[in-house]
Amino acid sequence: MATPPPNPLRRFLTATEIDTRMLGMIGALIAIWISLHIASGGVFLTPRNLWNLSVQASSIAVMSTGMVLIIVTRHIDLSAGSVLGFTAMMMGVMQAEWLPGIIGYDNGMTWVIALVFGMGIGALIGAFHGYIIAYMGVPAFIVTLGGLLAWRGAAWWVTSGRTVAPMDETFRLFGGGTMGSIGAFWTWVVAGVISLAILVSLILARRQRSRFGFPKRPIWAELFLALAGCGIAFGAAAIANAYPWPRRVTERYAEAQGIVIPEGGLHYVHGFAVPVLIALGVGVVMTLIATRTKFGRYVFAIGGNPEAADLAGIDTRMVTLKIFALMGILCAIGAAISTARLNAATNAQGTLDELYVIAAAVIGGTSLGGGVGTIMGAMIGALVMQSLQSGMVLMGVDTPLQSMVVGAVLVFAVWLDTLYRKGKA
């Protein structure tokens, strides 16, 4: 007797191989967006707000990708915000105070040196944490709790609490804003490149399956995935391109460039912001690291069963050290984005960021039990967190109440994770 045909939704999910958890998260994001849109009286789902949202979420999204790997291996990093603060301060001092004396102001290399310097420091701090955790056996919770205090103190100590400003002209592009966006033409190009990459990867995956004679997805499922991927890329581009420059900025720009403003006014649009592109780039690279490299495979194996990983001959301590070093680098990238956005480095920068980063990873489906989590999920998690926050700002909710809601959502997400795991077991 044939098995009864499964319901259409289940068949769709099996054919497309979309993770139910991921689908649930995207559904939750859409639900949150629509409710916030209605609750805020129709100002949430506007190009301007969505554009701002994407920029504000970038720094947390970048760091959350590293937090996934840390939580997957059953560790935690409470020091992310403080490491961000310290590396931000170091990058700020480097470009605003040290480099001008050596290579002069407005040197084209300033931003490169500052960024590489910050990422190097981040890597060292992370490796240091990782060394204490992996080789000296101190729990990550304690090491990074110490780091939370120590690096915040260090950030203050660099300039005795003085705020460092302004940042290098090119470096500031990391922060987005009108100038830190790539404009209409390049936004379409980026959307085209992303779509092409999606198509190529789908075709390659299909060819790989043919090569080994594995079951393939039905053609309609492949088409659906291709269309959905390209649709999202071009949809996002269209939204980013629907957010025009403010009139004042356009006029100033026209004046500076010597452009005569034609009748009916000049129309420039923002397009994708640089920090968003950085976050997307980090997401792609981290996904490749997590799913296509030995290192990533070991991270998940350790998370599933640390002893088994050890017995399989994996150098689990070195992997742990590398995970934390990677987190340090990502904190520095997050620091570059937030420093550039503020156009200043302050010793309070990134305060409480660790909690948002952890929340983003957990809301994005990273299981605190270890072994489970995706980079894309964490980035969507960051978007959910930022949506809630900016939605509440639009609705005029008081700041203390915002924190309470965010806290409650975090606990709710972990509860859902617990339910999900019980159902699976």
Contact residues for other proteins, defined by CB under 8 A: 208-209, 211-214, 288, 291-294, 297, 300-305, 307-314, 371-372
The structure tokens listed for 229 are 């991927």
Q: Which is nearer to other proteins, 142 or 288 (CB)?
A: 288
For 69, other C-beta atoms within 10 Å of its C-beta total: 32
DSSP letters for 270-329: --SBHHHHHHHHHHHHHHHHHHHSHHHHHHHHHHH-HHHHHHTT--HHHHHHHHHHHHHH
- 269 DSSP β-pair partners: 244
Alpha carbons within 13 angstroms on the beta-carbon side of residue 282 total 27
Provide the angle, in degrees to the nearest 10, between the axes of the packed helices 316-342 and 110-135: 140
Q: Which is nearer to other proteins, 214 or 258 (CB)?
A: 214
Amino acid of residue 130:
G
Q: Which is nearer to other proteins, 71 or 80 (CB)?
A: 71
Q: Which is nearer to other proteins, 214 or 260 (CB)?
A: 214
Cβ pair 155, 79 in contact under 8 A: no
CB of 226 to other proteins, least distance (A): 21
Q: Which is nearer to other proteins, 5 or 212 (CB)?
A: 212
CB of 285 to other proteins, least distance (A): 13
Largest CA distance in the chain: 82
In three-state secondary structure terms, 397 is coil
Does residue 222 come out as left (phi exceeding 0), alpha (psi in the -120 to 50 range) or beta? alpha
CB of 288 to other proteins, least distance (A): 8
- 244 DSSP β-pair partners: 269
Q: Which is nearer to other proteins, 60 or 299 (CB)?
A: 299
CB of 304 to other proteins, least distance (A): 3
The structure tokens listed for 102 are 């050596």
Q: Which is nearer to other proteins, 119 or 301 (CB)?
A: 301
Q: Which is nearer to other proteins, 334 or 365 (CB)?
A: 365
Which residues, including other chains, have CB under 8 Å from residue 309's CB and lie 6 or more apart? Answer: 298, 301, 302, 316
Rounded to whole angstroms, how far apart are CA atoms 339 and 121? 16
| Residue 172 DSSP symbol | G
Cis before 166 (ω within 30): yes
The structure tokens listed for 152 are 């915040």
CB of 62 to other proteins, least distance (A): 23
CB of 4 to other proteins, least distance (A): 20
The structure tokens listed for 80 are 């992310």
Q: Which is nearer to other proteins, 188 or 300 (CB)?
A: 300
Q: Which is nearer to other proteins, 256 or 311 (CB)?
A: 311
In three-state secondary structure terms, 177 is coil
Cβ pair 298, 73 in contact under 8 A: no
Q: Is the dihedral of CA 84, 85, 91, 94 positive or negative?
A: negative
Kind and range of the H or E element at 412?
helix 399-424
